[in-house]
Amino acid sequence: MSAADARERFATATLRHLGAPLADGVELRHVSAADWHATIDPLWTGTLDRPGHDLSPLFSPEQAAASRDLDAIIGDRLEHRLLLVAGGETIGGYWGQQETFGRYYMTVSMFRPEWRGRGLYKALLARVTAAVADAGFRELYSRHRADNNAILVPKLRAGWVIAAFEITPRWGLTVHLRRYLVDAIALVHEHRVDGARVEELRARGLRLP
């Protein structure tokens, strides 16, 4: 197993699960990060009813440059940069990326208001989850404003669980969600909430007091 194997596995899983149209007439178009931001950033900020704070004026140019240099050391992560296109028009976008420890971060999902409530996100979530699982990740992660039911509800219905709360400078109070792809780890999550699942976890080899 090597980094090249991981890239190959990711590419194959992406093609298998995120290659075909999302729904009748809704194409998934894979683009570069630059093209994605050029298309989605204006859509995103233009359609959110309560956008997050733009923190960029609070950093000095030196602080911003230092941060970019540090990011450059990490280099290019594996990621999905998707435009959702219907009738030649971009109706939404999705960005998800690799993190460390086998974690995949669903960073941004958005549809134009007139395309919401048609089941497109539900379909996208299932396809992304399948691609991420096939690529070998252990879990998916995301964080959302605590009252963003439109994203929390479909994820909780799809087996995601609440992992944390965080006050973020950009969005305020957020909920962190996880979708475990290793079923024993999902059991450990339950165990950590209230001590459940002890016998099953012992039987699977977890050493518990």
Ligand X SMILES: CC(C)(COP(=O)(O)OP(=O)(O)OC[C@H]1O[C@@H](n2cnc3c(N)ncnc32)[C@H](O)[C@@H]1OP(=O)(O)O)[C@@H](O)C(=O)NCCC(=O)NCCS
In the complex, the residues that contact ligand X under the rule CB under 6 A are 108-111, 116-122, 144, 148-151, 153-154, 157
Rounded to a whole number of angstroms, the distance between the first and last alpha carbons of the chain is: 35
Rounded to whole angstroms, the Cα distance separating 38 from 123 reads: 25
Residue whose CB is less far from ligand X, 11 or 164: 164
Residues 121/109, Cβ–Cβ less than 8 Å: yes
Residue whose CB is less far from ligand X, 78 or 106: 106
Shortest CB 121 distance to ligand X, Å: 3
Shortest CB 135 distance to ligand X, Å: 21
Residue whose CB is less far from ligand X, 102 or 119: 119
Residue whose CB is less far from ligand X, 9 or 39: 39
Shortest CB 59 distance to ligand X, Å: 23
Shortest CB 108 distance to ligand X, Å: 5
Residue whose CB is less far from ligand X, 98 or 187: 98
Q: Are strands 79-86 and 103-111 parallel, antiparallel or unpaired?
A: unpaired
Shortest CB 107 distance to ligand X, Å: 7
Residues 43/110, Cβ–Cβ less than 8 Å: yes
Residue whose CB is less far from ligand X, 116 or 138: 116
The encoded tokens of residue 179 equal 């979708």
Shortest CB 113 distance to ligand X, Å: 8
Distances (CA, A) of 20 to 9, 28, 29, 154, 199: 18, 7, 10, 22, 43
